[in-house]
Every structure is written in structure tokens, then in C-alpha cells.
Structure 1
Amino acid sequence: MCLNLMGHLCLRSHHHSVPISITWQDDSGDDDDTASPTDRTELHDTVRNLSLKLDDLSTCNELVAKHGAALQRSLSELDGLRTPYESSEKLKAVNERATLFRITSNAMINACRDFLELAETHSRKWQRALQYEQEQRIHLEETIEQLAKQHNSLERAFRSAPGRAANPSKSFSEGSLLTTKGEDSEEDEDTEYFDAMEDSTSFITVITEAKEDRKAEGGTTGSVDWTSSDNVLDGASLVPKGPSKVKRRVRIPDKPNYSLNLWSIMKNCIGRELSKIPMPVNFNEPLSMLQRLTEDLEYHHLLDKAVHCTSSVEQMCLVAAFSVSSYSTTVHRIAKPFNPMLGETFELDRLDDMGLRSLCEQVSHHPPSAAHYVFSKYGWSLWQEITISSKFRGKYLSIMPLGAIHLEFQASGNHYVWRKSTSTVHNIIVGKLWIDQTGDIEIVNHKTKDRCQLKFLPYSYFSKEVARKVTGVVSDSQGKAHYVLSGSWDEQMECAKIVQSSPSSPSSDGKQKTVYQTLPAKLLWKKYPLPENAENMYYFSELALTLNEHEEGVAPTDSRLRPDQRLMEKGHWDEANTEKQRLEEKQRLNRRRRLEACARGCGAEEAEKEAEVYMPLWFEKRLDPLTGETACMYKGGYWEAKEKQDWHMCPNIF
């Protein structure tokens, strides 16, 4: 009896078991959890599983009743036998206990059957109620998002309304509008006040007219007068692009409409370094990280103009605008670039139209690290080694670029250093992916000790601020503020010259802000419009469309020659995935060979450590005296090799 019962239960349990649903949680502190799309299916499975388990109990009831009756018959037969008095009493006790056990078992089964009837009666009502609540929650979220977008649109329209102020640039500020002309204000009608967000570097700007500024300034500073420097800062973003001798392409094949379950792959990656996880090309865009790094040069004209600045603080404004402009390409670019092969390179030889030459090389694979060097014929050079650290946190993906960016102007010797901010990709599990930039950036001129503090404000549906807002202050070596910066990293940046600063009265919470009296803001940088049909071409900019265009004479390690990336750009994603696996296996084989060669040369104990020491071809490790860090810097030779078309030293990586 026991074997039959256990076998029956195990069989039922095996056929009708339901997989356990695991809910991941992270430490982000967000309260924007969205109901899982599997909730409804899970509810149906649970009710069905409950019914099956109660069926099992009914089967148990039948078996208990059947075998209990047989047991009592056996006991009755034993009771009819002639047995000693003591044995008869024991048999009666056993019979009574069996009867009690049977009564109790029947009561339990009856209670379970009653519960089943109630569950079946109310399960449909529960499902309808849960479905209604889910639909209401989704509708509420969509409504809030729509209201937030409408709020931002209205706010922007209000700020740029021609009847609101004589000059639209007067709306420039660190924070939101506090007092406007025409409202109950006791201040001079030519002055507007603005207040900052509570969690930002709080200050207030007061915008005044240029004529008042000249009276107030009265020659108290030795910096270049605002009106005399207009030709440098005014219209910095409106420089026409230089003519190109080469006709560049203006489109690539449209992105195929591939369905993809991101969560099915990402759920096993929580907390892991994403560069170590094989990912299909479905998550990529047809550009490598080296090409994305080169995209930072799209608004190089800001640096070309900065060369002519006679004031270092004015030059800092343009450098700050350039540092912000590098994020403008990321607003719609949620697909990841290809992780370059070790030794992969990318050149951008655009002396004719952009006035610069750029070279990138992948100098490390784990962690992924790329070295970059740019030379401009207009008198500046830029270099950096960027290591990408990325972690998947469950609901969002954090991308942390590590490493310093150096910019030097040859004529003045001004040497600027800054680091990139953190990028966050939201809605990994549910919803539309979107990217945000957050954190603080400090730009330092190591020659003059001028500084610029930039703050990237995190986006919030409920914030009164413009989305993707950036604010900043440019100060000299003495800590005196000269310019206030404001804008958004996906659209434009402005600067306003500070003519006077003073502390404000403490607020109710005891905080004190600095009040900056400024001239009207001037435009520093404005994003170029995207090409036509960009939404079907991975939202590539005009420059990005040309980066993977085939060119003659490049090194055999150039990203343009990478076969899986080329196949993906043409729309052959299945072939690209196969080719990607081949390249990755080839890279692993090359690493094993280095490991074996090192083991023979330096002993097995140091082999593992030495195998990671890779010698780049065009860059070399040097100590950076300004940051105290070791970084890869360009050692020369690439453009000379290209001139001779001598690439014998290049590794075979494709």
C-alpha cells in the first residue's frame, strides 16, 4: 500500500510540477519596479497546480478509505479468533485507533474538498481583479510619462516664448525659474532670478544687460572684455563643415527587424562584467568601440576655435562644451558597439575636411581598454586610454569609462585633463530602453590651474528641470568664478559671463547659495540634426555613417575590415554571429599560445601573470606625470607605415 501511494504521488508531482519564478533585486534603491509580464501566466499555473494537488488529496482519500476498510476487516477477523484476554484488549485498542485515524483522514479530505470548491469559485474573480489592477498600473505609468513629456515641452515653449522676454537667452540658468518679469517682484524689471535644484551645486544667476555690466565691471578685472571676445565665443557651433575631397556615404542598409528577448540572455549576467560574456550581434550596432571613441571628435571645431582664445577661462568654456558634446550621440544609441579584438585598430585620416588624424588601438581585452591619439593641424592634440567597466544590476546597466582624457594646445601650452561620466541604460527587463548620463566632471587646466565643475543631472519624470540637463561653473586658479555654463548633453550648451558674485540670504533649511550676476547667455555648441532615415540606421550621425565605410590603405587590423561587423552592417546577422564566434575562438587560441610561450620562457609560476602583459603595436605604457597613472600613449610610426604601405608588423587577428 505504501509503495503504491508514494509511487502515485511522485508520478503526479513529476508531471504537474511548476517551475519556480525567481525575482531579482538590486541595490539601486529605485521604486520603479514594473509588474512582470509573466504574472498572469504564473497565476494560471498556480491555480492549476492547486487543483492538481487537491486531486492528489482526493486520490489519497480514496486510498486511505480503501486500505483503512481492509485494515478494519482484518482487525475484525482477528477479533473473532479465540485469543487470550490480553491479546483481545490490545486488538480492540488497535481497532479504535484505526477508526479514529479513518475519521480524521476523512475530515481532512472533506476540508480540502471544500477549499477546492471555494478556490474554483473565486479564482476567476481573482484573475479578473489582478488583470484590472495590472492594466490600471500600466495605464497610470503611461499617463505619468506622457504628462512629464508634455510638461517638459510646455516648459521649453515657455522659456523660448518671444513675448516672455526681449532675449530668449535670458532663460539661461542653473535651475528653474524663480521670479519672472511681470510677476509680483520687487526687483528691477531688467533682472531675472533663477533657483537651483536642491541636490545640485546650488547657486542663483541674475541676468543683466551688457551696458550695466560694463559700468559694474569698471576695469576691475584683467580678463578680455566680453564684447571684444564675441568673435571667439559667439556662434561657436555654427561653423560650416570643411569641404571634403572624398565623397562620403550618407546611408547604410536599414536595420533588419529581428525579434530579441533581451531578458532571456541578461538574466544570467547580473553582477557580472559584461565584457566576459559572449553576446550575439543582435545587441550590437555595426561599429566597434574604437569607432565610437573616434565619434567624440564630431564637434572638433570647438577645439579649433579654442586655439584662438586669448583668455584661458574663455578657452575652458569651449573645452567644457566639447567634453559635453561627446555624449550627444548616445541619446538614442542603446545598442552596444562591438568589443574590439586585441590589437584591433581604427584610423580616421581626415586632414582635408576635419583637419585632424586620429588613431585608436585595442591594448587590452580583459578588461577592454583602448588607447587613442589625435593630432590636429590647427594646433591641438588629444590623447586618452579608456577602460570600459560595465555591470548589469538587474533593472539597469551601468557603464563606467575609466581613464583620463588629455587635451593640449601647442601655442599656449594649456593642458586640460578630465574624465568621462557614468552612463546608465534603463528598462533592461521591461519597457523601452533609454540611456542617461549622471555624475560630476572636473576639467582642470594644469598650466593655469583654471577649473570647470560640470554636473550631469539624473533624469526624473517628476523633475521640473529640462531632461538631460548639464550645469557648470568655470573658475580661475584663485577660485573666482568667471562663467556659468548650462544646457543639455543631447542638445546644446551655453555660457554666461559672471560680472559679480555674492552670497544669498540663508534659506529656511539653513542652506546658503551663491548669487551670480551674469550677462545674457551665448551659445557655445548645438547638436547637428540627424540624417534622414536615422531611426532605421541605428540613429547614426552623419559622421558615424562614414566611420565603417571601406577605405583603401588602412592597416589590416582596422575595424573596417572586421568580417562579422561588416556582415552585420549588410544585414546578414546569422552569418555575422557565426563569424563572431570564429573570431573569438581565434583570439582565445592566440592567448593560449602566448601563455605557453611565456611558460617556456619564464616558468609556469609566472606564466599566467605574464600572459596578460600584451605589448601594443602603436602605443606604449608610460607614467602620466599629471595623474600619476600608467597609461598607453602613442609612440609613433603608424602614419609612416601607412605612407609606405608596410604592414608586416601587424598581427593576424581577423
Structure 2
Amino acid sequence: MDDETVASRGSIAVKNAVLTVPGGTSGLRFEIHSTPSRGHSSVQKWYLKANHPVEATRWITAIQRSIEIAKREGDQLERRSGESDATSLKPASSIGGASHYAKKKDRPMAKALQSAPSSAAGDVDDAGDISDRKEGDHPADEQDDEREDSSDAGSTQQAPPHTNAFELQGNALLAQVDLTTQLLSSLPQQIPGSPRAVELSKAIDETFTSVSGMLTEYVHMVKDREEWYKAKLDRERERQNIWEESLQAVVLEGDRLEQELRSRFRRRSRAPSASGAPGDTLRRRTSEIVASPIMQVENIIAPAAAAAAIARQEEPGSPTGVKTPTTTTAQRAVPLQRPSISSPSHSTGRLSLIKGGGKVLGDEDDEAYTDEEDEFFDAIESNTLPNLVITQSLMHPGGTEFYISREMYKGYLKLRDRLAITSDDRPPMSLWAVLKNSIGKDLTKISFPVFFNEPTSMLQRMAEDMEFSECLDAAQAEKDPHRRIAFVAAFAMSNYSSTIGRIAKPFNPMLSETFEYVRFDKEYRYVSEQVSHHPPISACWAESPHWRYYGEVDAQNKFMGKSFEIRPTGIAHAELLLPEEMGPDYPKAKGPHVKGQAVEHYSWKKVTTNVSGFILGSPTIDHYGDMIITNHRTGDQCILTFKPRGWRGKDAYEISGYVQDTHGNVTYEIAGRWNSQLVARQVGTGVGQLHPDVPLSSPTSPTASSEYILLWRNSVKPPAPFNLTPFAITLNDCPEDTLKPFVCPTDCRLRPDQRAFELGKYERANELKNKQEEFQRAVRKAREEGRAPPHKPRWFSPTTEPDTRERVWMPAMVEDQLEYWIEREKVTKAKQTGVAEDWNEVDRIFIEDAP
């Protein structure tokens, strides 16, 4: 259709032409294609060939310019036509004496007026004089609207300008410059004044003129494209700022709503209600049902606290435990129903059987929580629980002859209790500024500045699981298998107490990085290795005369916008070394110093960790989910439910759980908080759930048998830089003469960037961290290209654990002894006698810069 007006059949309209330059034609060939018209599908193609690349370049440039001019004129013509049509149909701005000025935001209404019946045209014409005057009063507004229209039109352009011509223009310019260079090189060879020299001079002048014009056109194209990209970048920045402001507003609004709900709930819980009314709160009903017993408890609590304080000062008389003297009462034993493993939140730990009322307060009363439900935890913290049993192993860990040499590990005889710096004076940086572009991403693949770190490695953070190893000592000393699994569960949850306020990020370990640690006072030694980098996996092994602990850390983490979550997928294992008579059918322990002992195997997975509130500058860490500890020899299980922090903060740090045998019968209730203590009580020795509202009576009652077992108690954690615990402060200590020469060269204590950070040299630490990462990338590239052997973990190897049928990283053994400790003692012996000895098959992984 567009070709009908031209004189020659087969011609192509310039405004519908598409110019292409195929590759591999030495710059001589180019093609012109037509764009099919509406209703037609045929396409014409012209294949053209020039005699010289310069000629081809000139034709290509001229045709491309013609195409652009034709398209530009066509767009302007269509725009003028559209504006003319709109002006002819535009209604008056004032109708019937009422002024009406339609701005850009009112254009939909103006378009609706344009479609009014023709009968209204007379009225419009009659008001034409008013319309003209009103329109003349707002020239600036109309100009603003035109600018907005042009901006909107520009924003809808998906591709940058000169998309097709830009590359062609660049190639043509290069070809023209190359031709000019050839002409200039041949000019000195000609005789001055000769016809050939004159011709060359003229050609050079023309070529320079052509190059100048092409360069000018190319610069204009560059400016147009630069403006397009700048406009697009500004729009993206504006959208990003709007998104950030909106998200922050949502967070602030959510925080305000939480505070409002919390205050309304408190007002509602304090409001008086009629006795027996359906809307009574749990506080009202509880106080009415057990009013007199509670008064009795209050009268007894004070002397019980004093007696407990006296008992803590006395040396325990029996090896099994210490019982705090208190007044007990007669109680009616109520059998506990079997809970559902699949949904522990609906277990008997959520029921409250209150003596005297015979009424079950279940899930329908969850909304009516009051301060009385925290009295149990307050009683634990103030040591006022009746008949609280504290196992000897918790009070005095160790006590046996540790089989490793003090001379070999004398660097661990005296552990430091403070850092070199006294305060956290890191340069202030916004965590949100780093994370805002990483929503939905894996945090392990995000490079954080070192200023967000703390002076520990992830391997050392992993070693903090061992802070309360006395829980495993207590488990090994118990004869009751249900108490044993309760103490193992206490050990499994105890490491979360070190996360309070620990928002800073540990250093990511290098591949093959290791960490060793020895505690003579608690009688264990520990070693770990970074066995994989992507995904990051750390394996560890700890051994004691009473138990073994091993496992891996393999976590999935993701940033969710308002918070980020860490979901561990690795499995932790513990083996208690029991006398063979306690487990005659158990597997026999292998290795030195374990003769006559059998292995009782436990395993569990960690719960989800959530960090939120960093947008508002008050980050909070929380842990939630179910932790299921399984005894693979007896089939017993202990289920601990970490309750998520609610909007009221009522369930902060709270844990509830139970122990059940292989048949599903609940034998022990467990309750506590992961930042303070964990207590258990045998089923049948009290009424209802583990709660202080149980009525107490005379200690002479023959049925007084309520007994609480302290499973774990948090240690005192004085203020320290980065909120490090006293245990964590000892981990990166590396005395120059007693430890540094003997540890493995891959030990994280020897990392220069981490050491510089601990000394407060943060800029230097950031510089060394970048160098360390570049060194690791170079090693990885050498392995990928075959210039270095592939990586293989030195001290651990994966295998399948027969009880869980899951992967587990086990340490390399030599005659049932860890190869790491054998190598460590060999090197230590040699160096202590003045003989130079290197670690066998250990590669260099750290840079050698000074911290």
C-alpha cells in the first residue's frame, strides 16, 4: 500500500525500510528490507554490494539518515494531526457561565466531554468567548502539561534511541578513519605537485570533512542515548526511593499497630468483669477458682527462697543431685494425655488443669494470657520452685582424670577473659543499605563489608554449641533414660542463649579453614573444618571421657524484606558413653580410654532463626519451631517447642516441651526460656501443666512428691564488645609462644583480617578481607583450569549415618583416634624439642600480610 505512490514498481518506502549489514562480507554488502503493510505479508529484500568499503559506508550512512528523517517526520505529522483533531473536538472550558479548567489529572473527564452529543455544540460555541479567555489565563499550566506528556512519551520508549543506527554509525566512522589513515600514509610517497598528489590531497580533505560530519552525528547519538539512559536511571532511582519509603512506612505502621494492640490488650486485661461472665479473663477465672491455694503459695514462697539460697551455699551431700528444701503439699496426680508429635503446639503443654475447678482451659483461652503465666519463669529465676533438684554435674563439671597432656596443650591452660578493645567502635553503616537490593536472595552469596562483622569466625560461632557441655556430663551420669534425653535436649537448646544481642556477622570461613579448642576444666577437645564453600558446610567433632558430639552446619538463609531467616538443615549428633551394664545391647565404644563402655546415640536438627527490626534500627533475634531429639537406642523422644515472639512479646524466649517413650506415653514435662533456664517435672507428681499455680499444703502430707529438675541455667554474661559472651571471648585467643606455633596453619586464629578486626583496625581488616577473597578466587580458578589439584577436605569425609540414614561428616581416624590430634601432637613434640616440622598435606589458605 505504501509503495503505490512511487513511480517504480518494487521500490521500498524509506519510512518502512530496515537496513541490515550482514557479517563476514568485508564491509561491502548490505541489505534493505521492507516492512509489510497492514493486511499484507510480503516483504521485499534488496541485496546491494559496493565497490569499496568507503563507498559502502557512505551509502549505509546516507540510507540510515534518510530512514531516521522519514520516521521522525512521519511521527511529527501524526502528532500534529492528532493534536489538530483533539483541538477541533475539545469542548469549551466554561459552560453555562461556570468556569471549568481541566488539568492533566482531569483529562479522562475532558475526553468524556469530547464525546458529548452534537446538540451540545451550540452551547459550547455560545460560550466560546469565555472559553478563550479562560484558556488564555493558564499558559504555564498547559506548557507543564506538554512537558509531562513528552516525559510520559519518552518513558514509554522501551529501547534506547538510534538502536539500529548506533552500531552502524560506529562501524562507518571506524572505516572512514581507517581510509583516512591509508590516504595519509600514501601521500609522502607522491611527488609534490603531481596530479596524483593533488588528487590525494583533495581526497584527504573530503575524507576529513566526512569524518568530522560522521563524528558529529555520532556524538549526537551518544548524547541522545546518554539522556535516555539517564532518564531511565532517574526513574529507577525514584521508584527505588518510593519503594524504600513505602516499606519503611509499612514497618513503622506495623510497629505502631503492635503497640496499640499491646496497650489495648493491657487495658482489657485490667478491666473488671462480672463473676462468671463469658468474657472473663484467665486472670479472673484463675483467681476465683484457686484463690485460697494461691494465698498459701504466696505465704510459702518467701521461706522457700531463703532455704534455696542457703542450700546453694552448702556443699551437696550426694553425687546424684542437690534438692532445695522447701515446704511441699498434698497434690492430686492427674494423668497426662498423649500429645500429637506432628503438632506439639496442641500438646498437653498447652492445657491447664486447675485443682478445684475441674475445668480445662485450652486454646480458646490463649488470647487471655496474663502476667500470672510468667510467674513460673519468675519462680525459676528466683530459685523459688519447690523441691528443685540440681544435678551435681551441672554445678561441678569434670571431676575425672582427663587423658590428654597439659604440656601438649598448655596454650589452653589460661584462657583470656577480655578483648584488646574495650568498646565496639565500628564505623556506623546501614545494614538496610546493603540488604535492600537483596530481597529473596541467599545471604551466603552476598558480600558484606567487614564493618558488619564481629571478631569471630563462623567455625568459632559453631564451637559455641559447646559452652554448656556439662549438660552432656549430667546426661551421661543419669540412670533414667528419660532424664538422659531431657539433659541432651537441654544441651541442644543451650547454645541459643549466646545469640542474644549478637546481630553482628561472623567471618565466613575460607575453604579448608579449621579451628581447634581444648577445655581442661570441662574435659573435652573440639575440632572443626570448612569442608565446602558453595554451599557453605562446616563439620565438627568433640570428644570427652563421657560423650562425643559431632555434626555439620548447613543452613539455608534468605532475606525476606522486613527480616531474614536462617533455616539449618544439618543434623547434630551426640553419643553418651555409658557403662556396658546400662546398655548390654548397645554398640561398644571404640578407641582408647573407653573400655567397657557402650554408645547411646541421639540426633536432632536446629530450629529456625529470625532477625528483624533492623530497618528501625533495633534488630531483634528470635528462634522458633520444634526441635525433636531422638534416642536411636530406645526410641524415646524429647520435643521442645520454641515459641515465636508475638506482637505482645509475651512468648519471647519461651520453650515448652515433653519427653515421651517409644509408645508415645509422656513421662516428663519441660518448660523454660532459652535466655535463662530450663526445668523438667515428672508427669504424675503435680497437677496440670508445669506452672506455679499448683496448690501447696503441709510438708507432712504423705502425697507431697512434686519435684522440679533443673536441666540448664544460663551463665552470667557481663557487657562486652559486640555482645560476645565470656565463652566466645576465649575462642580467638592465640598466645604467641604457647599456641600460635603449634596450631594448624589453617586455623582461623591465624587469619590476618580477623585479627586486625579484633584489634580495632577496621579499615585494615576490610582491605585484608578483600585480599583474602581475591586469593581464594585465584586458587579456585587454578583448580577449575587444572593448574591445581581439586579440593578435598583434609580432616573430614562424608558418609551415611546408619541410624538417621542422612549424610554426616566423620573425622579421619587412625586406629580409632582422630588423625588431626595425632598430627597436632607430632608437630608439637617436634617444635618443643627444636625440630622444624610441618603439617602433613595441609595447603596454605591465608594471605601472609600482617594484621
Shorter-chain TM-score: what band? 0.5 to 0.7
- The aligned counterpart of 1:26 is none
> Do structure 1's residue 358 and structure 2's residue 388 form an aligned pair?
no
Alpha-carbon separation, structure 2, partners of 1:192 and 1:109: 90
Q: Which of residues 458, 461, 467 in structure 1 aligns to 2:647?
A: 461
Native 8 Å contact 2:354 2:688 kept in 1? no
Task: Please state whether the residue corresponding to 1:307 is helix, strand or coil.
Answer: helix
| 1:185-334 alignment, distance < 5 Å | 190=331, 200-203=346-349, 204=351, 234=391, 237-239=394-396, 246-252=413-419, 253=421, 254-334=423-503
Q: Which of residues 595, 598, 602 in structure 1 aligns to 2:784?
A: 595
* CA-CA distance at 1:307 after TM superposition: 1.1
Native 8 Å contact 2:353 2:687 kept in 1? no
- The aligned counterpart of 1:166 is 300
Deviations 1:481-533 (A, max 9, x none): 110010011111000001289999xxxxxxxxxxxx993422211100113x3
- The aligned counterpart of 2:572 is 405
Distance change (3 Å), C-alpha of 1:259 and 1:393: same
- The aligned counterpart of 2:764 is 575
Q: Which of residues 491, 494, 506 in structure 2 aligns to 1:337?
A: 506
Alpha-carbon separation, structure 1, partners of 2:471 and 2:715: 13
Native 8 Å contact 1:423 1:435 kept in 2? yes
Task: Please state whether the residue corresponding to 1:166 is helix, strand or coil.
Answer: helix
- The aligned counterpart of 1:175 is none
* CA-CA distance at 1:410 after TM superposition: 2.4
Task: Please state whether the residue corresponding to 2:684 is helix, strand or coil.
Answer: strand
Alpha-carbon separation, structure 2, partners of 1:556 and 1:331: 32
Distance change (3 Å), C-alpha of 1:539 and 1:145: farther
Task: Please state whether the residue corresponding to 2:768 is helix, strand or coil.
Answer: helix
| 1:138-149 alignment, distance < 5 Å | none
Q: Name the aligned partner's letter for residue 389 of structure 1.
A: Q
Task: Please state whether the residue corresponding to 1:471 is helix, strand or coil.
Answer: strand
- The aligned counterpart of 1:225 is none
* CA-CA distance at 1:169 after TM superposition: 13
Q: Which of residues 444, 452, 455 in structure 1 aligns to 2:638?
A: 452
Q: Is the radius of gyration larger for structure 1 or structure 2?
A: 2
Alpha-carbon separation, structure 2, partners of 1:364 and 1:150: 54
Q: Which of residues 671, 679, 683 in structure 2 aligns to 1:498?
A: 683
Alpha-carbon separation, structure 2, partners of 1:256 and 1:458: 32
Alpha-carbon separation, structure 1, partners of 2:250 and 2:572: 50
Native 8 Å contact 2:634 2:662 kept in 1? yes
Native 8 Å contact 2:680 2:710 kept in 1? yes
> Do structure 1's residue 586 and structure 2's residue 775 form an aligned pair?
yes
> Do structure 1's residue 347 and structure 2's residue 516 form an aligned pair?
yes
Native 8 Å contact 1:232 1:309 kept in 2? no
Alpha-carbon separation, structure 1, partners of 2:678 and 2:303: 11
| 1:452-531 alignment, distance < 5 Å | 452-462=638-648, 464-465=650-651, 467-499=652-684, 519-531=706-718
Distance change (3 Å), C-alpha of 1:170 and 1:627: farther
Native 8 Å contact 2:344 2:641 kept in 1? no
The alignment-based identity, stated in percent, is: 34
Native 8 Å contact 2:629 2:638 kept in 1? yes
Task: Please state whether the residue corresponding to 1:564 is helix, strand or coil.
Answer: helix
- The aligned counterpart of 2:202 is none
Native 8 Å contact 1:451 1:476 kept in 2? yes
- The aligned counterpart of 2:752 is 563
- The aligned counterpart of 1:89 is none
Alpha-carbon separation, structure 2, partners of 1:138 and 1:451: 39
- The aligned counterpart of 1:638 is 820
Alpha-carbon separation, structure 2, partners of 1:393 and 1:169: 51
- The aligned counterpart of 1:394 is 561
Moved more, 625-634 or 134-143: 134-143
* CA-CA distance at 1:638 after TM superposition: 0.7
* CA-CA distance at 1:335 after TM superposition: 1.0
Alpha-carbon separation, structure 2, partners of 1:584 and 1:280: 12
Task: Please state whether the residue corresponding to 1:413 is helix, strand or coil.
Answer: strand
Native 8 Å contact 1:342 1:364 kept in 2? yes
- The aligned counterpart of 2:136 is 106
Alpha-carbon separation, structure 2, partners of 1:616 and 1:565: 22
Alpha-carbon separation, structure 1, partners of 2:458 and 2:723: 16
Deviations 1:260-307 (A, max 9, x none): 111111111111111111111111111011101111000101111211
> Do structure 1's residue 547 and structure 2's residue 715 form an aligned pair?
no
> Do structure 1's residue 368 and structure 2's residue 502 form an aligned pair?
no
In the alignment, structure 1 segments of 5+ residues that lack a partner are 7-53, 58-95, 116-131, 172-187, 209-229, 505-516, 602-610
Task: Please state whether the residue corresponding to 2:785 is helix, strand or coil.
Answer: helix
Deviations 1:158-187 (A, max 9, x none): 99999536369999xxxxxxxxxxxxxxxx
Distance change (3 Å), C-alpha of 1:625 and 1:113: same
* CA-CA distance at 1:376 after TM superposition: 0.6
Q: Name the aligned partner's letter for residue 164 of structure 1.
A: E
Task: Please state whether the residue corresponding to 1:263 is helix, strand or coil.
Answer: helix
> Do structure 1's residue 652 and structure 2's residue 840 form an aligned pair?
no
Alpha-carbon separation, structure 1, partners of 2:523 and 2:634: 27
Task: Please state whether the residue corresponding to 1:499 is helix, strand or coil.
Answer: coil
Distance change (3 Å), C-alpha of 1:168 and 1:455: farther
Native 8 Å contact 2:656 2:672 kept in 1? yes
Q: Name the aligned partner's letter for residue 301 of structure 1.
A: E
In the alignment, structure 2 segments of 5+ residues that lack a partner are 1-71, 77-100, 105-125, 146-248, 270-282, 288-292, 306-328, 356-386, 579-597, 690-703, 813-817, 828-837, 847-851
Distance change (3 Å), C-alpha of 1:581 and 1:630: same
Aligned residues: 478
Q: Which of residues 378, 381, 392 in structure 1 aligns to 2:548?
A: 381
Alpha-carbon separation, structure 2, partners of 1:469 and 1:271: 29
> Do structure 1's residue 417 and structure 2's residue 603 form an aligned pair?
yes
**When the two structures are superposed, what TM-score results if normalisation uses the length of structure 1?**
0.64
* CA-CA distance at 1:363 after TM superposition: 0.5
Moved more, 440-449 or 412-421: 412-421
Alpha-carbon separation, structure 2, partners of 1:161 and 1:398: 45
* CA-CA distance at 1:109 after TM superposition: 4.8
Native 8 Å contact 1:207 1:519 kept in 2? no
* CA-CA distance at 1:621 after TM superposition: 1.4
Distance change (3 Å), C-alpha of 1:495 and 1:149: farther
Distance change (3 Å), C-alpha of 1:206 and 1:584: same
Distance change (3 Å), C-alpha of 1:333 and 1:146: farther
Deviations 1:313-341 (A, max 9, x none): 11011001111101110121111111100
* CA-CA distance at 1:353 after TM superposition: 1.5
Native 8 Å contact 1:455 1:471 kept in 2? yes
Native 8 Å contact 1:498 1:518 kept in 2? no
Deviations 1:79-111 (A, max 9, x none): xxxxxxxxxxxxxxxxx9x99996674366598
Moved more, 621-630 or 265-274: 621-630
Native 8 Å contact 2:669 2:680 kept in 1? yes
* CA-CA distance at 1:419 after TM superposition: 0.5
> Do structure 1's residue 431 and structure 2's residue 617 form an aligned pair?
yes
Distance change (3 Å), C-alpha of 1:572 and 1:521: same
Alpha-carbon separation, structure 2, partners of 1:233 and 1:250: 27
Task: Please state whether the residue corresponding to 2:657 is helix, strand or coil.
Answer: strand
Native 8 Å contact 1:206 1:518 kept in 2? no
Deviations 1:140-168 (A, max 9, x none): 7668779999999xx9xx99999536369
Which structure carries more relative contact order (alpha carbon 8 Å, separation 6+)?
Answer: 1
| 1:25-36 alignment, distance < 5 Å | none
Native 8 Å contact 1:530 1:542 kept in 2? yes
Task: Please state whether the residue corresponding to 2:777 is helix, strand or coil.
Answer: helix
* CA-CA distance at 1:234 after TM superposition: 3.5
Distance change (3 Å), C-alpha of 1:372 and 1:626: same
